[in-house]
A and B are shown apart, each in its own frame.
Chain A
Amino acid sequence: MSLDHLSLLEQLMLVLAAIALFTSFILLEQARLVASIHAFAWQGALAAAVTTVVAASGGHTHLYFSAVLTLCLKALLIPWMLHRLVRKLELDRQIEPLRHPALVIMFAVALVIFSYWLVLPMVQQELVFTRNIVAVSLAIVLIGLLMMVVRQQAVVQVLGFMSMENGLFLAAVSATGGMPLVVELGVAFDVLVAMVLFGVFFFQIRESIDSLNVDRLNRLTERTEEER
């Protein structure tokens, strides 16, 4: 596709979405927890910015509301809650390096290409622009998933989960002009409750295994005692 056919606002939207994807990569390999939380907050802010641009370009007024909601929830409230939890759990100086960083980053790049391939069926509908942004959102979702697989630290896994949410939100906003309001509110409520529960779990896990490295949660398997 040629970018110069797009309006200025659409180009801006693509740039913002691309930066959001870039923050996903930062999240994936950032070793310091506090820096990861900041990267996540930036991603939330970018999602809110994309929403504002969509609202401005398409005249969807209810999207301004979603933009404010996202900014409050994803860029301010959830990062603040995580920050507080990390401080309470005294993890703010902890460094959790990624094992095999080169391999993981290559895999993430492959996921981006895979997302572009997956949305190819949309080609018939002169939807090149939407296709592009849906692919980027899907890539954010899949990288979030990858993060939850390769990182063993509970807080980082939660960040992966939340950045998946960001990707989903981005897809909903850019492809469809936002879900119906009641659904959006429901999703936001679920995310918030999930965050509170995650906080409860951090303490429960710490109490149980004296660490937040969920790799050590390995009591329940199909293997019998002898096979271990």
Chain B
Amino acid sequence: MNMLLLMVFAPLAGALLLALVRSLGRAGWVNVLVCTITFGAALGLARDVIREGVIMGMTFRVDPFNVYLLVLTAFIGMTTSIFSRPYMQYVCDSGKTNARGMRLYHVMFQLFMFTMLLALSTDNLGILWVAVEGATLATVLLVSLYRTPEAIEAAWKYFILCGVGIALALFGTVLLYFAAQRVVPDPATGLTWSVLYEIAPLLQPSIMSLAFVFLLIGYGTKVGLVPMHQWLPDAHSEGPTPMSAVLSGLLLNVALYAVVRLKMLVDGSLSGTTSPHMAGYLLMGFGMLSFLVAGLFLHRQRDIKRMFSYSSIEHMGLMTFAFGLGGPLATFGALLHMLVHSLTKSAIFVTVGHATHIAGTQSIDHIRGLIRTQPAVGWLLLIGVAAIAGFPPFGVFTSEFLLLTATIQSQPWFTVALLGGLVVAFAGLFRHLHPMVYGPVPEGQQAVQANMVPVLLHLGLVLWLGLSIPGFLARWLDRATELITGAHLL
């Protein structure tokens, strides 16, 4: 419990502290320090959960499902803060923002971490909503940090679309609470997930299905599901790169986590009716649509960060599809995919940040010859994209292979769409990547100072997960799978 409180509230304390730190150089280090403390606490929490099982109390609930996401979130927060210290210093020196902007950046970075960790660890669906909305509020000013017309447009779009989406999710939450009130003895616990999960079969199915539609549209907007994805490429491409890394790597995961938790409730409620898989079918439909549409859109991108945002939509679609498919194999694959996608995608965004500094632009047409100018950046971009496209021996290959197997087992007709989508996305990524990495070096292009340690760490982990998933992690994911589907895989 202590570890849990330390982990959740350290970022909040960090935000308050960073609001007071005036020196720019020191603020970067404080940011790293707070993120490291958070990560340490998350590891301690994971140890407790492995030893004692579910930890509950004070409206928190940490079980095998969310603890692995908590560790992942804290880890990526830490590596991103390490990357962002010199990177944002460079941005500030280049005059894109000023000292006030930097202070805002550091405070909001920590507040964002706080809302993410709170959303993941809370047991109360109302607080979950408040935290996810808080994450939008914390990041929206960062998207417009550079104050270019594009950045302001992206931030406005992000604010309005996510605000509307999340408002619909609140309506779904109200309906859920309404359904719960008829069966929960104490109305104060009517939004507590663990209580609702126990009594899920008693919840009125017709109200629950209506609630789930609203909740899926609401949180689905944040996951970036097509057709509610319009904000995502803009917000991810116009904000500072460390923000893109945590948005793509973490925020989308948290929103998907919310959807999966709610699906568990709805599945319980609908289990006795004629359409027990309604929630699953909805997820499969939205997921497959996002996967295919985003794969096609990859081909016509001109902005490198926009391209990788579409790749995020594609992968989130794939995970949503897998959670909709249900069953231990698909769920295990989806959980693993969440892990490897976050690690790989944040590594790619970090590399892309350096690449855009080398070329001085985000336009794909003008980024050329990275390998010759700066081999570290070029090679790691190449390796990162190979990993995200699902090349063996990286972890993404393993999880996609599991998902493919699960699809062949339970919904063979989707195999064609799935394989086709993977090939289209692969082609889309590599047709843009090849000239960027190998093409002729533009005149006067120079290497920049780059800290590639976070990237190496992430890609190393993804490679490790691809070669052999360590036993404790496999058991861990298996326990999460058991929690979600009720059956073991291993």
Contacts and interface: CB of A to CB of B under 8 A. Distances in A.
Contacts of A194: 133, 137, 159, 163
A208 interface: yes
A168 B207 contact: no
Contacts of B159: 194, 197-198, 201
Given A161-B167, A197-B159, A219 B174 contact: no
Interface in A116-172: 118-119, 121-122, 124-125, 130, 134, 138, 141, 145, 148, 154, 157, 161, 164-165, 167-168, 171-172
Nearest to A191: B133
Interface stretch (B186-194, B282-290, B316-324, B447-455): B186-194
A178 to B, nearest CB: 9
A9 B282 CA distance: 40
Interface residues of B, number: 52
A27 to B, nearest CB: 16
A157 B137 contact: no
B488 interface: no
A217 interface: yes
A220 B153 contact: yes
- B178, B182, B187: residue with the most chain A Cβ atoms closer than 10 Å: B178
A183 B126 contact: yes
Given A186-B126, A201-B159, A175 B137 contact: no
Given A157-B160, A180-B188, A186-B130, A197 B150 contact: no
B152 A205 contact: yes
Contacts of B182: 125
B127 A183 contact: yes
Given A161-B167, A168-B167, A219-B149, A179 B154 contact: no
Contacts of A198: 159
A200 B141 contact: yes
A219 B178 contact: no
Nearest to B134: A190
Nearest to A170: B174
B413 to A, nearest CB: 29
Contacts of A125: 182, 204
Interface string B142-165: 001001111011111101100110
Nearest to B132: A190
Interface in B228-248: 233-234, 238
Contacts of B150: 219-220
Interface of A: 118-119, 121-122, 124-125, 130, 134, 138, 141, 145, 148, 154, 157, 161, 164-165, 167-168, 171-172, 175-177, 179-180, 182-183, 186-187, 189-190, 193-194, 197-198, 200-201, 204-205, 207-209, 214, 217-220, 222, 224
Interface string B246-262: 00000000000000000
A219 B157 CA distance: 12
Contact of A190 (B133, B141, B181, B297): B133
Contact of B126 (A182, A197, A208): A182
B174 A217 contact: no
A153 to B, nearest CB: 12
Contacts of A130: 178
B276 to A, nearest CB: 17
Nearest to B153: A217
B190 A180 contact: yes
Nearest to B144: A204
Nearest 9 interchain pairs by C-beta: A183-B126, A186-B130, A121-B206, A217-B153, A208-B149, A208-B152, A172-B174, A190-B133, A175-B178
A183 B191 contact: yes
A59 to B, nearest CB: 13
Given A197-B140, A204-B144, A204-B152, A179 B174 contact: yes
Nearest to A189: B130
A122 B206 contact: yes
Contacts of B140: 197
A130 B157 CA distance: 35
A206 B233 CA distance: 23
A164 B45 CA distance: 39
B398 interface: no
Nearest to A141: B171
B100 interface: no
Nearest to A180: B188
Given A171-B171, A194-B137, A197-B137, 12 more contacts: A121-B207, A122-B206, A161-B163, A167-B171, A168-B170, A183-B124, A183-B191, A201-B156, A204-B144, A208-B152, A220-B150, A224-B300
